[in-house]
Amino acid sequence: MDNGVRSLLGRSWWILMAYGVIAILFGVVAVFQPLTAIAALTWIMGIMALAEGITSLFTLTTAPGGFARGWLMFYGGISVLFGLIAVLDPLSAASALLMLLGFWLVVAGIHRLLLGLRVRRHVPGEGWTVLSGVLALVLGVIFVVSPLSGLEVTAIWIGVIALLYGVVQMMAALRLRRLL
């Protein structure tokens, strides 16, 4: 490896270390305070949606004629509305989204279950589609019946992944540091 590249990589080890520390901190919060982590993520998404919506609505004042003004107004309005809901009540917004996902999973689960039962008659030993249908159905019902529990479990899984990611980043940082 070229010494200049090696030196540059070695000097930037601290960036990966910072990513690792941040990921581990987030992971700890997500595992031990899952609803706090979900609320924070939803709040951040709300801020982003608000910024996008306000920018889109502002663009209406400067958009040239013939521009899709109706669509831009609709998009900007929906973005501002979602952003406000997510910022003002992040857990309710996250629960509502998870419930929508739950309804879809119930429908998808029923579809896969019926498809799998039909396929099994023609493909001996094929039970995976049925199993995926049952799992989707169970997860969908959990999300619809108890969205906060679904949010907690989701946050814990995200937290575990963030912890693993943080450790990997820190290991990579220490490896890069040895290049100095």
pLDDT in tens, 130-180: 999 999 999 999 999 999 999 999 999 999 999 999 999 999 999 988 877
What pLDDT, on a 0 to 100 scale, did the predictor assign at position 64?
73
Over residues 102-130, the mean pLDDT reads 89
Enter the pTM of the model: 0.71
Over residues 79-100, the mean pLDDT reads 95
Helices (H), 63-127: 69-88, 90-120
What pLDDT, on a 0 to 100 scale, did the predictor assign at position 87?
97
What pLDDT, on a 0 to 100 scale, did the predictor assign at position 13?
86
What pLDDT, on a 0 to 100 scale, did the predictor assign at position 80?
97
What pLDDT, on a 0 to 100 scale, did the predictor assign at position 12?
84
Residue 27 scores a pLDDT above 80: yes
Q: What is the largest CA-CA distance in the chain?
A: 64
Over residues 103-111, the mean pLDDT reads 95
Other CB atoms within 10 A of residue 20 CB: 20
Overall domain count for the chain: 1
What pLDDT, on a 0 to 100 scale, did the predictor assign at position 67?
66
What pLDDT, on a 0 to 100 scale, did the predictor assign at position 17?
93
C-alpha 138 chain-centroid distance: 21
Task: In whole angstroms, give the CA distance from residue 149 to residue 86.
Answer: 19
Q: DSSP letter string over 9-66?
A: HHHTHHHHHHHHHHHHHHHHHHHHSHHHHHHHHHHHHHHHHHHHHHHHHHHHHHPPTT
Residue 5 scores a pLDDT above 80: no
pLDDT tens per residue, range 32-89: 999 999 999 999 999 999 999 999 999 888 877 666 788 889 999 999 999 999 999 9
Residue 101 scores a pLDDT above 90: yes
What pLDDT, on a 0 to 100 scale, did the predictor assign at position 114?
92
Range of the domain at 60: 3-177
